[in-house]
Amino acid sequence: MARSKGDNSTPPPVPEPLRVPVADSHTHLDMQDASPEEILAKAASVGVDTVVQVGCDIPGSHWAAETAAKYDNVHATVALHPNEAPRIVLGDPDGWSGQRRGPGGMAALEAAIEEIDALAALPQVRGVGETGLDYFRTGPEGAGIQQESFRRHIALAKKHGKALVIHDRDAHEDVLRILTEEGAPERTVFHCYSGDEEMARVCAEAGYYLSFAGPVTFPANQHLRAALAVTPMDRILVETDAPFLTPAPFRGRPNAPYLIPVTLRAMAQVKGVAEDELAAAVAANTARAFDY
């Protein structure tokens, strides 16, 4: 059946395979409309041979760890998403797991972080995240809870020697400030980098990895392309954040790891390097960032 105008449910076409395999450094297999086996096979068919499965809450972090234990080419990260911490403390009907949460207070947050701590010790768990700050829908009270949760996750990443995966939305200054105050882990990744060129230079100087997703391909986001242009080749990662943030020209349609080549090819044009050169760098960077 032909796709009707305005129907965004049809997956984008499969792109030409990459010649040099790369990893999707940030995806949510548990939120996509296919089995992990199907998603991984489709990704492998275009040269995406590894994925990092990211946890956002307690159930999702358990799922990430269990899935990474099952598949050799899946690595897990575990955390409470910045928006999850206020939900636990204050109560919110729209948590990541879809379960209504009552106000549990800081004791409930402490218990949740202890559970993340235990998961972070597992060998198949390669990172603590996505953590960080998200001020897009958060008021002052929620922001304070997010900051406390972020500090605790930084400590967990250092305790276990794992990468720190940062979600940073409308909170650049506070994220950088807290990283400086707490001392960033040896391997720190800005997931779906959203800052500008100046911030990219600051991150590069600090040795952070910047992971670029579909938004770098959106015509309006010249600031992201300017940031990518100045990011050193040994600090660049690529991700889908699937099922979100599908790259242009497929924005609004379902995203999945098999679409990494679309974003990577756009990034290579911005960097002014050959596709294979960028792919080789990204593959090495991701393996180094997540220590696999």
Q: Dmax of the chain from CA atoms?
A: 56
For residue range 140-168, list pLDDT tens digits in order: 888 999 999 999 999 999 999 999 999 99
Q: Which fold has domain 22-81+113-290?
A: TIM Barrel (3.20.20)
Contact call for residues 175 and 188 (beta carbons, < 8 A) = no
Question: What are the domain boundaries of the chain?
Answer: 22-81+113-290
Contact call for residues 158 and 106 (beta carbons, < 8 A) = no
* pTM attached to this predicted model: 0.94
* Distance, CA of 292 to CA of 289 (rounded, Å): 8
102 pLDDT band (50/70/90 cuts)? low
Segment 42-57 shows an average pLDDT of 98
95 pLDDT band (50/70/90 cuts)? very low
Neighbour count for residue 211 (Cβ, 10 Å)? 26
For residue range 244-263, list pLDDT tens digits in order: 999 999 999 999 999 999 99
Tokens of 48: 């995406």
Peptide bond into 249 cis (omega under 30): yes
Minimum mean pLDDT among 51-65, 90-104, 111-125: which range? 90-104
Strand partners, 211: 237
Contact call for residues 281 and 21 (beta carbons, < 8 A) = no
Mean per-residue pLDDT over the chain, rounded = 94
pLDDT value at 84 more than 60: yes
For residue range 262-288, list pLDDT tens digits in order: 999 999 999 999 999 999 999 999 999
Tokens of 6: 């305005």
More confident call, 96 vs 170? 170
Contact call for residues 109 and 89 (beta carbons, < 8 A) = yes
Segment 15-43 shows an average pLDDT of 98
**Residue 6 backbone dihedrals phi, psi, to 5 degrees:** 90, -5
Q: Is 107 exposed, middle or buried (0-12, 13-18, 19+ CB in 10 A)?
A: exposed
User: Alpha helices, DSSP H only, in 161-247?
Assistant: 172-182, 197-206, 222-230
pLDDT value at residue 50: 98
